């Protein structure tokens, strides 16, 4: 595959040289570490006697808080910003973030933006932003046919099926945000037909440098192609363009009205008053190397395996796309036989935005339940406790990827429990040890399941869905019509499990 990238780079170079004589070669760049002069460096203070190797975290469970936290990091940055995302949409929340990134670049902040090449944005638009002297954008594992992408899939589908699923944002080498959220309205509870229930952690301490090292691996890899090679810019985004856009879009009004107001969020006042209290504990960042898309080797799973093997009594798995495979199913059942309590939360068919995934997951449900695995499926009409959640969303969907281990450790990241995350996509996650937080979180989650999810059980040797909130017992996929059920069932007949 690397030979293919050499050919691609050469081709893009020649194309670029036809349109510009100032095309710069790709150079390796690296993070500069903790910026002690940054405003962010004075924001958090560990409690007395906190070990120096501990890191701090703050949970971002609500979409509104997750957006506000990202804006706070971008607006506070003084030297560097590093952003890495699988999806970066072109909607209101994405535009708001791009605007603030531009403002940061205008005041001298060096911005490195690494995007997986699964974006709906035009190359010309990305190149226009990339034209700013303080912003550099690279695309990961790009399509070779830029205008007819379907042709790329026809000729090179095996390569393009492997994507960078990592998600991180780091400001000044001081604070990072890592978790399951992409950038788009549905991830931030803002004006979307579907509202994703997601989860991030804001990070401070030694784990932030681990996040930057991870970013550098991807940024400097052969698979990250400079935007200037793909589509050289004829100009750069400037203040006049931005002011015109602000006037036309009324972007500030959209986030400063009665329904959507940052100032109405409790987190806003905590940030202004510098009153965010972090949870402190030992932390490690687990991540795949970018070469996984070439060799299929998962460094993340290698790192997670001993953590899972160390489980003594309980594990709670939250995964929106859950395809355990036959091997994984048997391993879970065997763990349950050994006395370990295993609880799993995933999407129901109606709340799942990929019915083919549900079709294959459904093949393992009965075995799991009969094997004493506690299995729950998210309701499509579950309502998040979020001041912005009344967004007109017609459907809720689980998107968080979290594992709670022995009421002691928490795993938060981009990885689903499915073959795609294990073998095809690159992933990252952070593991924190904090018994008090994890125990309280697990207790609260199990309470929420009673309201927001169906419990799967076996009655008369048949699978049923129990709704503890209403007392109902359902005998078929809740809230899903015949067409959706048929699509999922047919998908389960196709030999596509390894692609899900």
Cα(227)–Cα(457) distance, rounded to whole angstroms?
51
Tokens at 230, concatenated? 């793909």
Cα(297)–Cα(310) distance, rounded to whole angstroms?
22
How far does CA 93 lie from the centroid of its chain?
A: 15
Cα(165)–Cα(86) distance, rounded to whole angstroms?
5
Cα(360)–Cα(378) distance, rounded to whole angstroms?
17
* Pairing relationship of beta strands 402-405 and 395-398 according to DSSP bridges: unpaired
- Ramachandran bin of 134, using left for φ above 0, alpha for ψ from -120 to 50, beta for the remaining angles: alpha
Which helix H or strand E contains 444, and what residues bound it? helix 435-452
- Of the candidates 413, 414, 379, the one whose C-alpha atom is nearest the C-alpha of residue 398 is 379
Furthest-apart CA pair in the chain: how many Å? Answer: 74
Angle at 237 between CA 233 and CA 241, to 5 degrees: 135
Tokens at 145, concatenated? 């046919």
List 345's β-bridge partners, or say none.
318, 376
**Count of other CB atoms within 10 angstroms of residue 60:** 24
Cα(127)–Cα(136) distance, rounded to whole angstroms?
9
Question: DSSP E strands: which ranges in 257-306?
Answer: 279-281, 283-287
Tokens at 51, concatenated? 């070990």
Cα(279)–Cα(480) distance, rounded to whole angstroms?
40
* Owner of token pair 């912005």: 388
- Of the candidates 274, 262, 281, the one whose C-alpha atom is nearest the C-alpha of residue 435 is 281
Query: Which residues does the annotation mark as catalytic?
Result: 165, 167, 172, 399, 401, 406
Cα(281)–Cα(391) distance, rounded to whole angstroms?
36
* Owner of token pair 């073998």: 423
């Amino acid at each position: 595959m690397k030979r293919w990238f050499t050919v691609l780079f050469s081709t893009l170079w020649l194309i670029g040289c036809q349109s510009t004589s100032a095309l710069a070669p790709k150079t390796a760049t690296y993070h500069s570490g903790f910026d002690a002069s940054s405003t962010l460096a004075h924001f958090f203070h560990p409690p007395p006697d906190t070990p120096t190797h501990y890191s701090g975290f703050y949970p971002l469970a609500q979409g509104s808080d997750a957006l506000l936290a990202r804006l706070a990091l971008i607006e506070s940055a003084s030297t560097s910003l590093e952003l890495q995302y699988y999806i970066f949409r072109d909607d209101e929340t994405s535009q708001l973030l791009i605007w603030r990134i531009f403002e940061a670049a205008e005041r001298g902040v060096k911005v490195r933006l690494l995007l997986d090449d699964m974006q709906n944005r035009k190359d010309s638009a990305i190149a226009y932003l990339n034209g700013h002297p303080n912003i550099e954008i690279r695309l990961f594992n790009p399509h070779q046919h830029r205008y007819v992408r379907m042709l790329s899939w026809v000729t090179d589908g095996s390569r393009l099926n492997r994507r960078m699923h990592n998600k991180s944002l780091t400001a000044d080498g001081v604070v990072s945000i890592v978790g399951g959220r992409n950038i788009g309205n549905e991830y931030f509870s803002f004006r979307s037909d579907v509202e994703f229930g997601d989860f991030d952690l804001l990070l401070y301490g030694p784990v932030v440098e681990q996040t930057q090292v991870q970013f550098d691996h991807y940024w400097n890899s052969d698979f990250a192609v400079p935007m200037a090679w793909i589509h050289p810019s004829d100009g750069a985004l400037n203040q006049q363009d931005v002011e015109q856009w602000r006037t036309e879009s009324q972007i500030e009004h959209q986030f400063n009205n009665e329904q959507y107001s940052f100032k109405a969020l409790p987190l806003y006042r905590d940030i202004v008053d510098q009153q965010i209290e972090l949870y402190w504990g030992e932390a490690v960042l687990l991540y795949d190397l970018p070469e996984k898309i070439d060799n299929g080797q998962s460094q993340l799973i290698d790192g997670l395996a001993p953590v899972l093997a160390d489980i003594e009594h309980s594990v709670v798995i939250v995964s929106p796309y859950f395809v355990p495979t036959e091997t994984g199913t048997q391993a879970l059942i065997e763990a349950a036989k050994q006395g370990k309590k295993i609880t799993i939360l995933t999407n129901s068919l109606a709340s799942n935005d990929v019915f083919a995934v549900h079709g294959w997951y459904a093949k393992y449900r009965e075995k799991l339940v009969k094997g004493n695995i506690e299995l729950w499926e998210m309701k499509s009409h579950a309502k998040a406790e979020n001041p912005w959640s009344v967004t007109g969303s017609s459907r809720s969907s689980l998107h968080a990827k979290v594992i709670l281990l022995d009421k002691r450790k928490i795993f938060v990241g981009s990885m689903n429990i499915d073959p795609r995350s294990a073998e095809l996509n690159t992933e990252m996650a952070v593991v924190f040890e904090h018994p008090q937080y994890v125990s309280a979180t697990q207790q609260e989650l199990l309470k929420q399941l009673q309201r927001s999810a169906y419990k799967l059980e076996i009655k008369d040797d048949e699978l049923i869905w129990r709704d503890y909130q209403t007392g109902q017992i359902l005998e078929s996929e809740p809230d899903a019509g015949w067409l959706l059920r048929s699509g999922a069932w047919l998908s389960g007949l196709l030999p596509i499990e390894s692609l899900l």
